[in-house]
Amino acid sequence: MAQYLEQLGIGILFAVGGDGTLRGAQKIGEEAARRGLKVGVIGVPKTIDNDISFVQRTFGFETAVTEARRATYAAYAEAEAARNGIGLVKLMGRDSGFIAAYSALVNNHVNFCLIPEVPFTLDRFLSALQERLERRGHAVIVVAEGAGQDLMVTSQERDASGNVKYGDIGVFLRDAIANHFKRIGAAIPLKYIDPSYTIRSVPATAHDSAFCLLLGQNAVHAGLSGRTNMVVSFWNHQFTHVPISLAISERKKIDPDGALWNSVVTSTGQPRDMR
């Protein structure tokens, strides 16, 4: 790749994407440096999961949460319309539950938010769900795709990018909930919604569009100033430069003891510990 960039006469490579894209960009930048090529590599953080370290917000995240809100409200409308109705929504988030967490914050009809960073057991969750139905007669559940992986038997297969293929927690929970209430003889109308590809395909929100433009402008300025192997970051309301090695050093995740998760637990009313 580095050789081909040289042949094409490319002076700056802009890598737009998330963790995987940035890892590839770093290797290209390192190889270009080893060969002594005058090729700059600048990363632009674009991932709806918002999971890049030392980047406060990534392009696409706000759009994802905005569209996810439609799904959570639809789940609420279905759940409230029937006695003991349950709405279950699976959202994106392999290793970080930011979309699920913020979807719970923007829609206070969400009663349970399950994310990869906070483990739970099936028995404790089902018990809490049953208590919720007995008390209020309906419930809305949001689960991130990477949550509860320890509850399922997975094959450990890997996709083309080398990531372990996760089990489908949405279908797993849907069936587990249905089987639990069937065992205790309770009728529950359960609606399962998986809006993943709908969320990925919608136009960017106005704010995300403007944010993307500003990221692009700052990326160009960084490249023209001679910088390389870095990511244009947004931190504390300022655009900053972060080495790619630092940005991919670890996944940004929700702190179970932090303010964000405390706000989610307060908003949903779910038990703090469901282990």
Q: Which residues are catalytic?
A: 49
Which residues have C-beta within 8 Å of that of residue 249, sequence separation ≥ 6? 53
8 A C-beta contact, residue 211 and residue 18 = no
Q: What is the β-pairing status of strands 40-45 and 230-235? A: parallel
Amino acid at the residue 12 = I
**Residue 210 and residue 57 in contact, taking contact as beta carbons nearer than 8 Å:** no
Joined tokens for residue 123: 């028995």
- Give the integer Cα–Cα distance in Å for 262 and 269: 10
Token output for 210: 């403007």
Quickly count: other Cβ atoms within 10 Å of residue 205's Cβ: 16
Q: Which residues contact 19 (CB under 8 A, 6 or more apart)?
A: 47, 51, 52, 248, 251
